[in-house]
Amino acid sequence: MQYAINVIEDLNVSGMLANHKLAKSIADMGFYEFRRQMEYKSELYGSQLIIVDRFYPSSKTCSNCGAIKDSLPLSERVFYCEHCHLKIDRDLNAAINLEKIGRATAKFTPVDKSEPTPLVEAVVKPTQA
Ligand SMILES: [Zn+2]
């Protein structure tokens, strides 16, 4: 059996569409369609889809030490942590944070948790001599 864990953020699409600067790129991205496809494919392949709360600060949280920035303008493409001095691509930092959440959230079903296959008892009829 093959399975995977995919993590996506539940982006506040309507909120972003209200921001005219972001509206076009969000609409182009088609987040709703992307999410719908992810849900469909996850069910099809039996993989887990974890949708992270839209209020989780994936971009503002340091993927190394966990410190959270007060603000991070979209123009800042490099994440720099004042606490541990980590310098990393902004999107990569967010992706690492989401991966961590995915690992912590994913539920694995142990093999021994599944229902045992009922044994069909062999009926041996004594042979009459
Ligand atoms: Zn840090």
Rounded to an integer, what distance in angstroms lies between the CA atom of residue 61 and that of residue 93? 8
CA-CA-CA-CA dihedral for 30, 88, 98, 22, to nearest 10: -30
Report how far ligand 1's centroid is from the alpha carbon of 97 (Å).
12
Give the per-residue pLDDT at 67. 97
Report how far ligand 1's centroid is from the alpha carbon of 9 (Å).
21
Looking at per-residue confidence, does 23 or 2 come out higher? Answer: 23
Give CA separation, 52 vs 38, 94, 102, 111, in Å: 14, 12, 8, 27
Q: Confidence band (pLDDT; 50, 70, 90) for 113? A: very low
pLDDT at 116 over 90: no
Predicted confidence (pLDDT) per residue in 34-88, tens digit: 888 888 888 888 888 888 888 889 999 999 999 999 999 989 999 999 999 999 9
pTM of the entire predicted model: 0.65
Give CA separation, 73 vs 37, 40, 41, in Å: 30, 34, 34
Report how far ligand 1's centroid is from the alpha carbon of 113 (Å).
39
Q: What's the average model confidence in pLDDT over 12-26?
A: 65
Rounded to an integer, what distance in angstroms lies between the CA atom of residue 59 and that of residue 6? 18
